[in-house]
Structure 1
Amino acid sequence: MFKRYEMMIAWRYLRARRSEGGISVMTWISLVGIALAVFALIATLAVRSGFRYEFVDTIVGANPHITVLSYGEVLPNGGLTRTLAEYDAVAAAVAQAEGVESAVPVVTGQVMATAQGRNAGVQVIGMRQADVAAIPRIAQPEEARGSLDDYAEGIAIGSGVARSLGVDVGDRVRLISPDGVKTAFGTSPRIKAYPVVFVFQVGRYDIDSTRVYMPFAEAQTYFNRTGVADAVHVAVDDPEAISRYAPGITLAAGEDTYLWTWQDASGAFLRALQMEDNIMFVILSILVLIATLNITSGLVMLVKNKGRDIGILRTMGLSEGTILRVFFLCGASIGVVGTGIGVILGCLFAIYIDPIFNAVNALAGGGVWDPSIRYISALPARLELSDVISAVALSLSLSFVVTIFPARRAARMNPVEALRYE
């Protein structure tokens, strides 16, 4: 498409000194502007992808993908119970459904935990030892103390719970439930102390600060669930494809049950993330557009300074198309080089985000990142090929488009008018 002499002329114009009528300063400004804009776009897209990945990963790694619940049964005394009596049978049937990795019965409850004169509200989940060890984020947490091998002798708690109560492995925590022992004078709170055998950190603040795991049989006794379970927790092969597995799981679970998925629990937050992603991409696209407009201003100045050269080239026989391609090469090359530099900087930022963030945190004196607000323990970044391609495509397309106008103006310049006063 481009002849060798066209590229030679374009290169000569780009590197010309100011004394020769060049605009090298404007070239560098355009180049740096595009590089920084592309860098900002890729860095933001990487952090955005990292946020969603970490958020979803902590959800599906420490929570059930699907929870099978009972619609409830009216008791002879008029009360309503939502427990599952045949929980092992339901779990076994669900485990045979398509895409299901595991289905385990659980007992759940909200209680008050107290130790060292401190109190904290916690969510207790009663599970068998093998089932707890199969939870990805519990079996392989970010940080852990103690061992799940001793799970049958005590409880496993989140690092936030341990920090709130001032306890560690080997200490005892008292759990207080208002729904305790029924007596002739009413229901008295149930208070029982358990040793801490395992402390885990999954990297999600709302889980680490509230989650407590208790042996299944002990939870049945503690929460007055003898012979029943509250729900069945299900893990599937592909958590993003919940809608494909749900009909089969519903059929396997039986008519008196319904499903509650991780997307139902976190759907509002995921939709907010998606909307924020779209808005950020639009805003940063405007930033890239502003940076590429520097190419237009630089080329307009170049065309004005090179009017005499254009007139001479036209009288030598060069066509309008040749002139257009020369100046298009000038602008497009700035866009290509600037985009390449921006891609390199953006990728390096995403790859080395941890040392970069640690340096920023150290310079700021610490406290830059608050997990209680952002729900995850560190600033994430995930470099996606699609994000890099979209940033490159946006930058190059805008660079090429804004180059066309000054290039066409140069091509349509009348050589007679250009040389009249020479």
Structure 2
Amino acid sequence: MSKHTAPFSRFEWQIAWRYLRARRADGGVSTMTWISLIGITLAVAALIITLAVRTGFRDEFVDTILGANAHVEVFAQSYVNENGQVERTITDFDGWADRITQVPGVIRAAPLIKGQVMANAGQNNAGVEVFGISYDDLLAIPRVAKPESFLGDITAFEQGIAIGSGVAAELGIGLGDKIKIISPNGVKTAFGTSPRVNAYDVTYIFTAGRWDIDRTRVYLPFAEAQSFFNREGAADQIEVIVEDPERVDRLIEDILAATEEPSSYWTWRDRSGAFLRALDMEDNVMFIILSVLVLIASMNITSGLIMLVKNKGRDIGILRTMGLTEGSILRVFFLCGSLTGIVGTIAGVILGCLFAINIDAIFSAVNYFAGGGVWDPSIRGIYRLPAKLEFWDVASAVGLSLTLSFLVTLFPARKAARMNPVEALRYE
């Protein structure tokens, strides 16, 4: 046989395939091959599912943040009013909003009244956060104007109050019912400040997709919120929506300059940055852990291949005496191990992608058989477990699995190639 045959020639594939086929005499080798195949399949599938859930959870979490909250909140610097009280209200709120809107990269700037109050309906009470906002600005909030689900008509907002579905559930009220808003900072009298209590008709109930928003968020018409919180002629802050929230820091200097007065800011990253950083760190740790799982599964290939080399010692000796080079023997056993890794990786990709695509149905079945309560939105913030397949996530899982499978195959394949044919045939 020629010593100049091309690498991975047809006969090398044929020999490798013959060794991989199950034979009764090599039952142990066949069993190890199946164990390696199943192990790699499950490891790759687990890695893809984890990466898909990680991406989906982060995207859903960020989308609910950006879809129901300002990207930048702009505040006035503290000052002492004519009564000697320290305030941070913005009197020229329309001017601030108009000038900030003209900053390149800014989509919308709206004055806002914000306050924490007690909501009451019958015997039920709940702490809520009131946002005073105009009707046009409310329509510009995606998760409120176009929520996952809603009751009522948002066009009737100025005739009543809009509340989150969690607030409605906590108070046991529905569309058209009345809700009382109680603020301890109410009417100032000669005997001090008395609580202010107003009742409003519930005209709109929304589900934004975030438990903490739906459970605490209430919207009042801007003029009504000014009156209720004693903010006549003023606003608490300007909420700003930008084109690219991921690069919001680049616009801060221009936004603050547009106010033309001393001001400060708070971005969406400042509000949720700690949680997002924790997610990123958890993602990296999970990837490392699952990479180790893929490595362990790949090591099974080494065990099976070592057994195969041991059982095929006589065949190796015969092939070498027939003229096969060390390179050919190495490639034959490299193919035996790498094919297991390739097939296992392909099967793992298919299984992982199918699981990620059908995760809602699978999770619903798990939740049903577990009796419910598997996913607690009060802890995780969102209502479901999302999954989003990304090309680079799948590619990284495939690359990791194939690289490890090829690397762990080299040692036993090299050992087979260096086997002395005389020693292999001595006792035959």
TM-score by length of 1: 0.98
Q: In the alignment, which residue of structure 1 is the partner of 2:407?
A: 401
Q: In the alignment, which residue of structure 2 is the partner of 1:112?
A: 118
In the alignment, the residues of structure 2 paired with residue 257 and residue 8 of structure 1 have an alpha-carbon distance, to the nearest angstrom, of: 76
Give the letter aligned to residue 349 of structure 2. V
In the alignment, the residues of structure 2 paired with residue 316 and residue 248 of structure 1 have an alpha-carbon distance, to the nearest angstrom, of: 79
Q: In the alignment, which residue of structure 1 is the partner of 2:179?
A: 173
Q: In the alignment, which residue of structure 2 is the partner of 1:71?
A: 77
Give the letter aligned to residue 138 of structure 2. V
Secondary structure at the residue paired with 1:64? coil
In the alignment, the residues of structure 2 paired with residue 101 and residue 313 of structure 1 have an alpha-carbon distance, to the nearest angstrom, of: 73
In the alignment, the residues of structure 2 paired with residue 244 and residue 8 of structure 1 have an alpha-carbon distance, to the nearest angstrom, of: 61
Secondary structure at the residue paired with 2:219? strand
Q: In the alignment, which residue of structure 1 is the partner of 2:241?
A: 235
In the alignment, the residues of structure 1 paired with residue 412 and residue 184 of structure 2 have an alpha-carbon distance, to the nearest angstrom, of: 77
The answer on 1:25 being equivalent to 2:25 is no
In the alignment, the residues of structure 2 paired with residue 167 and residue 252 of structure 1 have an alpha-carbon distance, to the nearest angstrom, of: 43
Secondary structure at the residue paired with 2:127? strand
Q: In the alignment, which residue of structure 1 is the partner of 2:301?
A: 295
In the TM superposition, residue 21 of structure 1 has moved relative to its aligned partner by: 7.0
In the TM superposition, residue 142 of structure 1 has moved relative to its aligned partner by: 1.2
The answer as to whether partners of 1:14 and 1:22 remain within 8 angstroms in 2 is no
Moved more, 352-361 or 241-250: 241-250
Q: In the alignment, which residue of structure 1 is the partner of 2:4?
A: none
- Paired residues for 1:8-407 under 5 Å: 8-19=14-25, 23-407=29-413
In the alignment, the residues of structure 2 paired with residue 187 and residue 391 of structure 1 have an alpha-carbon distance, to the nearest angstrom, of: 63
In the alignment, the residues of structure 2 paired with residue 277 and residue 17 of structure 1 have an alpha-carbon distance, to the nearest angstrom, of: 43
What are the superposed Cα offsets for residues 75-126 of structure 1, whole Å, 9 maximum, x if unpaired?
2333211001100000000001121111111111000000021000000000
In the alignment, the residues of structure 1 paired with residue 263 and residue 190 of structure 2 have an alpha-carbon distance, to the nearest angstrom, of: 35
Secondary structure at the residue paired with 1:345? helix
In the alignment, the residues of structure 1 paired with residue 347 and residue 313 of structure 2 have an alpha-carbon distance, to the nearest angstrom, of: 31
In the alignment, the residues of structure 2 paired with residue 228 and residue 21 of structure 1 have an alpha-carbon distance, to the nearest angstrom, of: 83
In the TM superposition, residue 225 of structure 1 has moved relative to its aligned partner by: 0.4
In the alignment, the residues of structure 2 paired with residue 200 and residue 346 of structure 1 have an alpha-carbon distance, to the nearest angstrom, of: 34
In the alignment, the residues of structure 1 paired with residue 390 and residue 65 of structure 2 have an alpha-carbon distance, to the nearest angstrom, of: 21
In the TM superposition, residue 20 of structure 1 has moved relative to its aligned partner by: 5.4
In the alignment, the residues of structure 2 paired with residue 21 and residue 113 of structure 1 have an alpha-carbon distance, to the nearest angstrom, of: 72
In the TM superposition, residue 23 of structure 1 has moved relative to its aligned partner by: 1.8
What are the superposed Cα offsets for residues 31-90 of structure 1, whole Å, 9 maximum, x if unpaired?
000000000011011111111111100000000000111112112333211001100000
Aligned residues: 422
The ranges of structure 1 where at least 4 consecutive aligned residues each deviate by more than 3 angstroms after the TM superposition are none
Give the letter aligned to residue 410 of structure 1. A
- In structure 2, the CA distance between the partners of 1:214 and 1:20, relative to structure 1 (3 Å rule), is closer
In the TM superposition, residue 254 of structure 1 has moved relative to its aligned partner by: 2.7
In the alignment, the residues of structure 2 paired with residue 8 and residue 411 of structure 1 have an alpha-carbon distance, to the nearest angstrom, of: 17
In the TM superposition, residue 175 of structure 1 has moved relative to its aligned partner by: 0.2
The answer as to whether partners of 1:21 and 1:305 remain within 8 angstroms in 2 is no
Secondary structure at the residue paired with 1:318? coil
In the TM superposition, residue 255 of structure 1 has moved relative to its aligned partner by: 3.7
- In structure 2, the CA distance between the partners of 1:20 and 1:67, relative to structure 1 (3 Å rule), is closer
2:13 to 4, 7, 28: 7
The answer as to whether partners of 1:13 and 1:22 remain within 8 angstroms in 2 is no
Give the letter aligned to residue 79 of structure 1. Q
In the TM superposition, residue 134 of structure 1 has moved relative to its aligned partner by: 1.1
What are the superposed Cα offsets for residues 355-414 of structure 1, whole Å, 9 maximum, x if unpaired?
111111111111111111111011111111111111111111000000000000000000
- In structure 2, the CA distance between the partners of 1:22 and 1:311, relative to structure 1 (3 Å rule), is farther
In the alignment, the residues of structure 2 paired with residue 31 and residue 259 of structure 1 have an alpha-carbon distance, to the nearest angstrom, of: 55
In the alignment, the residues of structure 1 paired with residue 374 and residue 337 of structure 2 have an alpha-carbon distance, to the nearest angstrom, of: 41
What are the superposed Cα offsets for residues 279-327 of structure 1, whole Å, 9 maximum, x if unpaired?
1111111100000000000000000000000000000111001100110
Moved more, 254-263 or 193-202: 254-263
Q: In the alignment, which residue of structure 1 is the partner of 2:3?
A: none
In the alignment, the residues of structure 2 paired with residue 190 and residue 412 of structure 1 have an alpha-carbon distance, to the nearest angstrom, of: 90
In the TM superposition, residue 22 of structure 1 has moved relative to its aligned partner by: 7.1
In the alignment, the residues of structure 1 paired with residue 26 and residue 70 of structure 2 have an alpha-carbon distance, to the nearest angstrom, of: 70
In the alignment, the residues of structure 2 paired with residue 105 and residue 85 of structure 1 have an alpha-carbon distance, to the nearest angstrom, of: 10
The answer as to whether partners of 1:22 and 1:305 remain within 8 angstroms in 2 is no
Structure 2's unaligned 5+ residue stretches are 1-6
Give the letter aligned to residue 144 of structure 2. I
What are the superposed Cα offsets for residues 109-158 of structure 1, whole Å, 9 maximum, x if unpaired?
00000002100000000001111111010111111000101001001000
Give the letter aligned to residue 26 of structure 1. M
CA RMSD of aligned residues (A): 1.0
In the TM superposition, residue 172 of structure 1 has moved relative to its aligned partner by: 0.3
Give the letter aligned to residue 280 of structure 1. M
The answer as to whether partners of 1:172 and 1:195 remain within 8 angstroms in 2 is yes
Secondary structure at the residue paired with 1:90? helix
Structure 1's unaligned 5+ residue stretches are none
- In structure 2, the CA distance between the partners of 1:21 and 1:160, relative to structure 1 (3 Å rule), is closer
In the TM superposition, residue 349 of structure 1 has moved relative to its aligned partner by: 1.0
In the TM superposition, residue 170 of structure 1 has moved relative to its aligned partner by: 0.1
